[in-house]
Chains A and B, each alone.
Chain A
Amino acid sequence: MWRLFSLLILGGALVAPAGFAADAARGGTLYAPCAACHGAQAQGNPALQAPVLAGQDAGYLARQLRHFRAGIRGAADGDTAGATMRAQLAPLPDDAAIDDVAAWLASLPAPRAAAVEGAVLRTGSNYYQSKCGACHGARAEGNPALFAPRLAGLDADYLARQYRNFAAGLRGTEPADRYGRQMRLMATALPGEAELRDVLGFIAAQSQQE
């Protein structure tokens, strides 16, 4: 009897999120002020250091927004783009708003990233598959089962900045950010700047093949 009761509770817990399904349509409305930096189709704007959001995993986006809100991300000295983002959270006052906007963004098609000049794709492929692909997927498509975001389609400057932020401890140091800490451990895995460029070129090429 007790076991049956536990199963009911467990079952209820599993079903519960469906009862509060994110409202993507409302998310689209909430997104309006964000477009000033991230673009009308959430395609990003490298000139403003605003990354692509379209097509990103909703769980990842919602987690990052909560991290910005809590100061887990964007509060470190030196993360100026992160600080800018932290100052712009007013349109998303609560968890429901965050989940809704994340759901809307995830529903948009991911854009194609510009090719990376000078990148050696063969070396990039070797290093990507050896260091990154086990979590971020063979084609940089991301893997929600491992909480690893999509990388294909993100602009190379943003990716390089985040990689360096992880390596420098501007991101991925907070105890509450377990997945960020995982990434920080991999942010020294590439031997140098040339290989980083090659890997970024490989990632960009993945978005062009879709």
Chain B
Amino acid sequence: MTRTIVLALVLALVGFAAGNWYAKPRAPAQEADAARVAASYEGGFRADGESAAAVSERLASGNITAVAGAPGEHEIVVADGESIQEAVKRAAPGTVIRVRPGTYHETVYIDKDAIRLVGVIEQGRRPVLDGHGKLNDAVLYSGNGIVVENFTITKYKGNGIMGQAGNNFEIRNNLIIDTGVYGIFPQLGKNGIVEHNVLSGIEDAAIYIGMSDNIHVAHNVVFENVAGIEIENSRHAIVENNYVYDNTGGILAFITPGLPIKTTSDVIVRNNFVVRNNHPNFGAPGSIVAGIPAGTGILVMAADEVVIEDNIISDHKTAGILIVDHANAANLTIDPESDPNPDRVAVLDNVMYRNGYDTIPEVKALMLAGMQRGEPDIVRVGPSTGSCILNRSRYVTVGLDDFGVCGFGNTDATVTYLLPPVPPRVIEPGERGKIAYLGICSGCHIYGGRMVGPPVQAIQALYMDDPQALADYIANPVRKRDDYPEMPPQNYLDPETRLAVAKYMLEVRN
């Protein structure tokens, strides 16, 4: 009797799967025609008052390779044994601070504009910023037109280099090793370059572009981190010519739900080596980053208009490219103000091999339901509209039946999204708390979920109507949760700002 029921169930399931398979629209024509492939992708960014022709010229010219403005005439030299922070205090905007080789144990906080912090490299010796496992951040900046280059940064607990609402930044040629939660983390910045850096051993994202616009991430080597390069709640970014290997997930374009800026779109990922990102996930259990399946080359989660072109993507056990919506992602919850679906994703020509050879159960189940065999290069889970792929027959794909053929074959028309130096972010009187919340707190706290620190919603419940108590905690945190990283003191902010941000944090509603 039982056997009959089981048999009936199996038959019903097989019938269901087969019905699904036959009922689905068959994949469209395999190859795009020549004219369509010759067309080039052009991102959607347009500055105020710019004509369409001017946009095209700006995107294609590629003559913007620096954004911080010309160096000023002032110069300060810092020698081994001296303090970089003291030099920053003395420096007028426009100063170049040259730091000679040596070891510096300090946090450098730059809260003025147009400071170039430049390491002097002599016979291969660089200045080393060493946090000794005690300090939280190596370099924090809130100014505009900041340059940080030629440093070695190691053994900090929080960030290697973090930008807090500074525009026109250049972060270049740094070695950032075994240091904390984020390696290079420009937050809430517009018009910035992250290039020629080497990053390894970061617990969350090695390069984390957070809530930013017009960003260029190029020529970096990123290995043995949880997330290699992450474009999160950001727009108009190009990630190119990077070597990304041995991370848990290689390159990620993401919307994190619960952040105050709600979209990610127009991200070009091209000409990268994305190889064997199978590192066991060592993110804090329960955190969003801990939900990245080991063995993911490129992850697109809820981000729109992500264009993936001319990458070499190989040796990933889960998938070469994983495209997923919020509902099917691990360790996060839906944000009613964010579109949860990755729409208009374009997979152009890529070289992909040896991916999906030991994939996760969710993908296996999808393949079983679709009666598919093989090891998947590209996996799509959840809704995605307007997405496309070229030459799909080259790859093993799962869930891509409704992807059309792309109307463009390359991104050559978009050389850069960088702009001439843009004005600093306008901060209205009374907005100090809000800007500090967006530029600093949002790096680790989202409204209704667990990023690095506890959710803002829980913090609101704990502190209720007592912002002063929260402001005091921000200045001098005490660890209360074994399974969360320690909160770094934010005592470089003045007491008024701390109280303002505490008040803002207790009032936000998403």
Contact = CB atoms under 8 A, between A and B. Distances in A.
Contacts of B38: none
Interface residues of B, number: 24
A146 interface: yes
Nearest to A132: B458
Given A133-B286, A134-B450, A186 B331 contact: no
Interface stretch (A11-19, A22-30, A137-145): A137-145
Contacts of A185: 460-461, 464
A130 B481 contact: no
B438 interface: no
B449 interface: yes
23 contacts: A122-B330, A125-B330, A129-B331, A130-B332, A130-B333, A131-B457, A131-B458, A133-B286, A134-B454, A134-B458, A134-B484, A137-B483, A138-B285, A143-B481, A145-B480, A181-B464, A182-B464, A183-B461, A185-B460, A186-B458, A186-B461, A189-B448, A191-B334
A138 B462 contact: no
B488 interface: no
A182 B458 CA distance: 8
Contacts of B461: 135, 182-183, 185-186
A104 interface: no
B462 A182 contact: yes
Interface in B305-350: 330-334
Contacts of A146: 462, 480-481
B459 to A, nearest CB: 8
Interface in B432-460: 448-450, 454-455, 457-458, 460
Given A122-B330, A186-B457, A130 B480 contact: no
B457 A138 contact: no
A127 interface: yes
A54 to B, nearest CB: 22
B326 to A, nearest CB: 10
Nearest to B448: A130
Interface string A117-159: 0000010011101110111011000010110000000000000
Which 10 pairs from chain A and chain B are nearest by CB? A134-B454, A130-B449, A185-B461, A129-B286, A145-B480, A134-B458, A138-B483, A130-B333, A182-B461, A138-B286
A130 B330 CA distance: 11
A84 to B, nearest CB: 28
A112 to B, nearest CB: 21
Contacts of A134: 450, 454-455, 458, 481, 484
Nearest to A184: B461
Nearest to B458: A134
Of A125, A126, A133, A145, chain B has the most CB atoms within 10 Å of the CB of A126
Nearest to B455: A134
B234 to A, nearest CB: 22
Nearest to B446: A130
Contact of B333 (A126, A145, A182): A126
Contacts of B458: 131, 134-135, 186
A176 to B, nearest CB: 14
A186 B332 CA distance: 17
A3 B429 CA distance: 43
A145 B484 CA distance: 13
Contacts of A130: 331-333, 448-450, 455
Nearest to A185: B461
A182 B110 CA distance: 38
Contacts of A129: 286-287, 331, 449-450
B332 to A, nearest CB: 6
Contacts of A189: 448, 457
Contacts of B484: 134
Contacts of B462: 135, 146, 182
Contacts of B332: 126, 130
